[in-house]
Amino acid sequence: MSSWEQRANYLVTVAQRCLKGHKTFGLCRSHLVKASQISKGTVYNHFPSEADLVVAVATAEFRDFLAQAQADQKVHANPLHLFLYHHCWRMREVLCNDRFVISRVMPNTDVLEQAGEFYRAAFNKAFADYNDWNQRVMDAIGPVEGYDRGALVRSFVRGSLINIDDGDTECCDLGVYHQYCYALTQLMGHSDKRIPSRDELGLWLTQMREAA
């Protein structure tokens, strides 16, 4: 990895840290200069426009989600449980780690059109790769005819993360995770399948806390 790529990754990491706990993407390049202690010229060379910064952060977020999904695959053999635990992980990231809900701002056609070709292409690939993973797992859970489960679930996940971020839910509220698993399973048309129990979710939350 070149020094340019290393610096770009560092700047995005700083940006992600600055966004923690925020409800809007209020971060701009001038803020990043101060937060990173890197010169204005260097930051602006990496991100020629404000849209480039937004898209770069979004790309990193969806790459993170995919990396976690692939790690989850090594733990959960049951595709339904794999899908549910992965999306509970995303919810826990918001509740316990104040992670910015990138779905508040991306994907966004207007922002993508303002970004440079490099950042636009990188985001489109990261977003598509993550959605492809979700679709493959849903296909493995089992086919359900009659509607596009992928689009429905994506919309529900986005709305749920925004709503949970706007509320005052406790990080380890088992009921929230259990209800989320139930709702996702219903939306996918698999109400006949067993979801993780409250005890299993409690053990998972404990393991997440100990691993942090």
pTM of the model: 0.96
pLDDT digits (tens, 9 = 90+) for 163-190: 999 999 999 999 999 999 999 999 999 9
pLDDT for the residue 93: 97
Residues 63-89 have a mean pLDDT of: 98
Q: How confident is the model at residue 59 (pLDDT cuts 50, 70, 90)?
A: very high
pLDDT for the residue 212: 76
- Domain assignments of the chain as residue spans, ordered by start: 60-211
pLDDT digits (tens, 9 = 90+) for 102-111: 999 999 999 9
* Omega before residue 107 within 30° of 0, cis: yes
pLDDT for the residue 2: 79
pLDDT for the residue 79: 98
At 101 the three-state DSSP class reads coil
Q: What percent of the chain has pLDDT over 90?
A: 92
CA 56 – CA 43 distance, rounded (Å): 12
pLDDT for the residue 144: 85
DSSP state for residue 126 in the 8-state scheme: H
Q: How confident is the model at residue 1 (pLDDT cuts 50, 70, 90)?
A: low
Residues 8-12 have a mean pLDDT of: 97
Q: To the nearest whole number, what is the mean pLDDT of the chain?
A: 96
pLDDT at 95 over 80: yes
Q: How confident is the model at residue 24 (pLDDT cuts 50, 70, 90)?
A: very high
CA 90 – CA 68 distance, rounded (Å): 9
DSSP state for residue 164 in the 8-state scheme: H
Count other C-beta atoms under 10 Å from residue 186's C-beta. Answer: 12
Length of the chain: 212
Q: What percent of the chain has pLDDT over 70?
A: 100
Indicate left, alpha or beta for 198 from its phi (over 0: left) and psi (-120 to 50: alpha): alpha
Is residue 150 within 8 A of residue 135, CB to CB? The reply is yes
pLDDT digits (tens, 9 = 90+) for 148-168: 888 999 999 999 999 999 999
Instruction: Give the DSSP per-residue string, 36-79.
Output: HT--HHHHHHH-SSHHHHHHHHHHHHHHHHHHHHHHHHTT--SH
State which amino acid sits at residue 195: I
State which amino acid sits at residue 94: V
pLDDT digits (tens, 9 = 90+) for 106-134: 999 999 999 999 999 999 999 999 999 99
Query: CA distances (Å), 147 to each of 25, 131, 136, 150, in order?
Result: 33, 17, 16, 9
